[in-house]
Amino acid sequence: MASGNGSDDGKLVSLSGQPIYHYDESPPGLEAIQGEMCLEEISAHIQAHLGPIESVFHEIVSDLVHIDVHWVPPNEANPFHRLVTSGMSDLPMHVPAELDGLKHLELMVTLPPDWRVEQEAFQDEAWYWPVRLLKTLARFPHKYRTWLGWGHSMPNGDPAEPYAANTGLCGAILLPAVTAPEEFAALDIDSEKRIHFLAVVPLYREEMELKLRKGSDALLEKFGAHDISDAIDPARKNVAKKRFGLF
């Protein structure tokens, strides 16, 4: 299930008026795998605005698009680990006609400096789940012939389950990367293709419910009140959880 996007009939809407879409487990027929069409340009863009790329985690087996994940470790200008996709933008998403300029997208997660980012640690889902989340979201619009954009949210399953045993986060929303320079938000490949970059921000169940009831702005207001950014903290405060009957 996803809110704010989809290829369903759009009859189901949230209390905030946003459409809610359900997707079955049988996506449309697959296209030829695309991959690394703009790899050099994306790599240069990442390094220009986030810092030197330490490593690229390449997919061994791909479906529809070849998704690589670029790792930028903390540096003098940036205290976080950054993981940025490339390959999602190789195919255009199925955006509404009026949003044609938003059909190419890549995604990023921001992780704290003590996060373990290496192949050995990735055997443990407690460290790997942000990478899995990036790959799942990057492939989703192509598998289901839909699109993802600002404010779109998606639970981890239906019903939503935590991404790992050490966190209650069980969904995600796409937002601008407030911890990155503004110039990172878009990359012009040529006159026909602009790639946008959005942050994947994990959510608790109550936060997803708040967003569906009252819209993205209500959730972002609570994020602002509690200084929640796009930097992932598996144990961060749940800004929508009721305590003693009150928020």
Per-residue model confidence as pLDDT tens digits over 28-59: 544 545 556 899 999 999 999 999 999 999 88
Whether the CB-CB separation of 89 and 104 falls below 8 Å is answered with yes
Contacts of 112 (CB under 8 A, 6+ apart): 80, 81, 231, 232, 233
Q: Map residue 140 onto helix, strand or coil.
A: helix
Question: What percentage of residues in the chain have a pLDDT greater than 90?
Answer: 79
pLDDT at 196 over 90: yes
Give the model's confidence band at 24: pLDDT under 50 very low, under 70 low, under 90 confident, else very high. Answer: low
Could you give the CA distance from residue 244 to residue 111 in angstroms, rounded to a whole number? 32
Q: Which of 238, 209, 220, 196 is nearest to 1 (CA)?
A: 209
Q: Specify whether the backbone of 42 is left (phi greater than 0), alpha (psi in -120 to 50) or beta.
A: alpha
Q: Which residue has the higher pLDDT, 84 or 64?
A: 84
Per-residue model confidence as pLDDT tens digits over 201-216: 999 999 999 999 999 9
Q: What is the mean pLDDT of residues 8-14?
A: 45
Per-residue model confidence as pLDDT tens digits over 79-115: 999 999 999 999 999 999 999 999 999 999 999 999 9
Say which DSSP state 174 is in: E
Neighbours of 180 (CB within 10 A): 21
CA atoms within 13 A on the CB side of 27: 13
Say what the pLDDT of residue 136 is: 96
